[in-house]
Amino acid sequence: MQAPSDYKTSGLFMILSGALTILASLGWIGGLIWVCVGALWVFPLAMGIFEVVTGLAVYKGQYKANAKTVSILGIVAALLCGNVIGIVLEILSVVQLGKPEVAAWMAGGGTSPVGVAPEPMAPPVPPPPIPDEPASPEAAPGETGPESPDEPPPWAPPGGEGPTNP
């Protein structure tokens, strides 16, 4: 089964963003290694390499269940490197992977026909309603308040005196 074109486009975005993230990481490592801070950009470098490898597979049309996860990790790596173009490319990649045609293809494990969405799930059954509980143990079922409007509510201070609103 052939992969949707939007899936392959997502792979292209992942390759480009990963390459830019690798270049930015190498720049940060090269510029800051002498103060021992450059080693912090080894993690975004590894994420960029992983993203390029996954992006190549996606671009070739191979099914990758972790494509969306890798793309989101690419956003994080691009943020850590200050790579604005990479962030935009990764957002575009996530958008491409979220399209209904691609989501249906990925939900089918890369085997569902392109353009055929999986059947939607049945709506959830609402829980049964909770019956009204009486306000006091003496109240009969259905009664929820004082028996007459002259009775003070249970939270009123003793003696009926309390703050009033003008």
pLDDT per residue of the chain (166 residues) written in tens, 0 to 9: 688 888 889 999 999 999 999 999 999 888 887 777 777 888 999 999 999 999 999 999 888 888 999 999 999 999 999 989 999 999 999 999 989 888 888 887 777 655 555 566 677 788 777 776 555 555 555 555 545 556 666 676 666 565 655 5
* pLDDT on residue 116: 54
* pLDDT on residue 159: 65
Report yes or no on whether pTM surpasses 0.75: no
Residue count of the chain:
166
Burial class from Cβ neighbours inside 10 Å (0-12, 13-18, 19+) for residue 125 reads exposed
Q: Do residues 20 and 78 touch, judged by C-beta distance below 8 A?
A: yes
* pLDDT on residue 49: 94
- Please, which residues have CB within 8 angstroms of residue 120's CB and are 6 or more apart in sequence? none
* pLDDT on residue 127: 79
* pLDDT on residue 101: 87
Site of tokens 């004082």: 146
Site of tokens 């703050």: 163
